[in-house]
Structure 1
């Protein structure tokens, strides 16, 4: 315990306090000897980083509870499932830095429910670098993370329908291998249609202004 506290830059008294608050998992015991490992040191460094970012110990405990209740990364990603998305591994403090002030137990639970996040030991895995980058960019623009996640849930429902429609079209005339090979075409159709839909939406916003000018 003294060695772990020294490596983490805290006192033994603080370490005991964290254990009492269940912020730190118990050590592995062999008789009267308690063994701490890199997992415990990583957890202590995460606690320190989150405290520096303004999280309270109660908030950190709730975050830890939400993470421990989250889906395992193997279940999240699916073994052998083909994907064009690049998963991203993050420490809890890196996630907090991405979404400054927005990492709450409620938002964590929502992201895990959507299947955006999974856990792998002391690391968090986001299923898609593109989704991570876009969602953090929207939060930096002032949109609350809770609203970004709610929008993501609505998008998920629509794109599931689109995927089923495209898959049915291809499989009526081909195989699963064709579906995998032609998936970039489906993505291009969706991206182009969304771009055109945004064009129509922007023109709609400008119509009253144009009518006034006439």
Structure 2
């Protein structure tokens, strides 16, 4: 059977019946998703509606999220939050040097990382912090290390919302520490030396945090507050 597919620059386009077949849903379900604005409107050519690979990816994401227990209302709110998120180029900053490795995820992969806790509120908080950006149908997390640590904390039983609240406070202190170190270096060296010397700043912060945790744990063991 011939596919109702049209080639276009950068991808393919599908008629409704073919899109529904590829997504593993019925045409009726596809119409319902479109009416609920869970997918963007198709491109129209006269009476023919053409859907593309972005629609297909969104439909597969909806199916995966439904299988994980998300409701259609929740999925709609997640989609709206993502659609309003910052573009990945704005998030990462083209040409900006960084020691952090970005991670590309589909929405369902993100949901799997934080099982049951990728709510519209948490997603909005992560977008506001600049942890997440969007690139077409993909989500980009700005740092593999932060993604791994936050998902590990959630697995240990700490709610994602509280992890993100703590992250916002850590961000404030980290910005202050970066300003302190940059001011110190620029007082004695040219600005181009900052990238070379940044590992020293990181080592100081890591050592001081380790010592602070030692003091905190010792105080707890002794029955006093640090």
CA positional deviation for 1:33: 2.6
Shift of residue 208 of structure 1?
A: 3.1
The answer to whether structure 1 residue 198 and structure 2 residue 213 are counterparts is: yes
Alpha-carbon distance in structure 1 between the residues aligned to 2:22 and 2:71: 22
Runs of 4+ in structure 1 displaced over 4 angstroms?
none
Q: Which deviates more, 28-37 or 188-197?
A: 28-37
1:31 pairs with one of 46, 68, 71: 46
Paired position in structure 1 for 2:124: 109
Q: 1:77 pairs with 75, 92, 102, which one?
A: 92
- Show the 5 A alignment for 1:63-74: 63-74=78-89
Give RMSD over aligned pairs: 1.0
Q: CA deviation at 1:170?
A: 0.6
> 1:89-110 deviations in whole A, cap 9, x for unaligned?
1110000000001000000110
Provide the C-alpha distance between the structure 2 equivalents of 1:138 and 1:24, rounded to a whole number of angstroms. Answer: 33
Are residue 155 (structure 1) and residue 183 (structure 2) matched?
no
Residue 62 (str. 1) matches residue 77 (str. 2): yes
Tell me the distance in 2 between the aligned counterparts of 1:170 and 1:8.
56
1:129 aligns with 2:144: yes
Aligned position for 1:212? none
**TM-score, with normalisation over the residues of structure 2?**
0.91
**Cα distance between partner residues in 2 of 1:17 and 1:44:** 12
In 2: Cα distance, 1:176 partner to 1:110 partner = 33
C-alpha distance in structure 2 between counterparts of 1:208 and 1:128, whole Å? 37
2:200 maps to what in 1? Answer: 185
Structure 1 runs not aligned, ≥5 long: 210-214
